[in-house]
């Protein structure tokens, strides 16, 4: 945008700047569409969600079922955002959810030296170092968790960014709580059929 202002009043340069900006942003939807389909594939492969999501088309070599489900979900969620929240609030909630997700690996990193000492002994030298008696990994993990928690708080509560609404809070709560419900419902279902899917997550990396 700054370059387009500098190029004014040359209309061709202004158009060229804005066109390349638009053309460059067209790749983002493909990336954001590609990543969730792989998540669905992995979750179904681990039996957290129905294994049908891991079906791969013999013709196109793509997880067609997961892509179709994501497409339908995207339309429904976009419609929900449009009528209940508006795009500005929806974007803010997305920022909050994405940033808050990084709090979890931050906490996991902080606890890693204490709960996985055998794996820590096999890690590179700098990972085993301590600073003031505290593992370096724990320090980095806490900094990560606190930083992203603060960013999430700003995205959700700062009135200069958004105005919190009951509808937005409900959607965030449903998404977060819904993830736990789906996971533990899947664990319970498979245990009744003699399969403990949590065993795969007790190894690093998961099998």
pLDDT tens digit sequence for 145-181: 999 999 888 877 776 666 666 777 777 788 889 889 9
Q: Which of 105, 95, 107 is nearest to 158 (CA)?
A: 95
The pTM of the whole model exceeds 0.75: no
As a whole number of angstroms, the distance between CA 82 and CA 89 comes to 10
User: What's residue 207's pLDDT?
Assistant: 46
Structure-token pair, residue 201 = 């997550």
Residue 131: strand pairing partners = 134
From 153-157, 159-163, 182-186, 200-204, the region with the lowest mean pLDDT:
159-163
More confident residue, 196 or 38: 196
More confident residue, 10 or 1: 10
Residue 50 gets the label, from left (phi > 0), alpha (psi -120 to 50) or beta, of beta
Structure-token pair, residue 11 = 């209309």
Q: Is the dihedral of CA 142, 145, 148, 153 positive or negative?
A: negative
User: What's residue 199's pLDDT?
Assistant: 80
As a whole number of angstroms, the distance between CA 32 and CA 200 comes to 27
pLDDT in tens, 102-134: 898 999 889 888 887 777 777 777 777 877 888
pLDDT in tens, 46-88: 888 888 888 888 887 878 888 888 888 888 877 877 777 666 6
Structure-token pair, residue 111 = 């606890």
Mean pLDDT score, 181-204: 84
203 pLDDT more than 70: no
User: What's residue 135's pLDDT?
Assistant: 86
As a whole number of angstroms, the distance between CA 135 and CA 119 comes to 14
Q: Is there a contact between 200 and 46 (Cβ–Cβ < 8 Å)?
A: yes
As a whole number of angstroms, the distance between CA 34 and CA 53 comes to 14
């Amino acid at each position: 945008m700054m370059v387009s202002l500098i190029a004014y009043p040359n209309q061709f340069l202004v158009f060229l700047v804005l066109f390349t900006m638009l053309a460059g942003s067209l790749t983002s939807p493909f990336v954001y569409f590609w990543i969730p389909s792989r998540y669905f594939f992995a979750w179904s492969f681990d039996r957290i969600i129905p294994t049908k999501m891991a079906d791969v088309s013999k013709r196109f070599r793509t997880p067609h079922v997961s892509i179709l489900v994501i497409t339908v979900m995207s339309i429904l969620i976009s419609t929900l955002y449009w009528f209940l929240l508006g795009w500005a609030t929806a974007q803010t909630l997305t920022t909050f959810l994405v940033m808050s997700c990084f709090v979890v690996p931050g906490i996991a990193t902080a606890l890693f030296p204490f709960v996985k000492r055998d794996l820590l002994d096999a890690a590179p030298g700098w990972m085993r170092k301590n600073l003031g008696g505290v593992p370096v990994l724990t320090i980095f993990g806490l900094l990560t968790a606190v930083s992203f928690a603060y960013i999430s708080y700003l995205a959700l509560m700062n009135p200069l960014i958004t105005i919190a609404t009951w509808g937005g809070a409900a959607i965030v709560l449903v998404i977060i709580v819904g993830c736990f419900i789906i996971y533990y419902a899947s664990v319970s279902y498979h245990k009744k059929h003699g399969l403990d899917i949590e065993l795969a997550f007790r190894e690093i990396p998961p099998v």
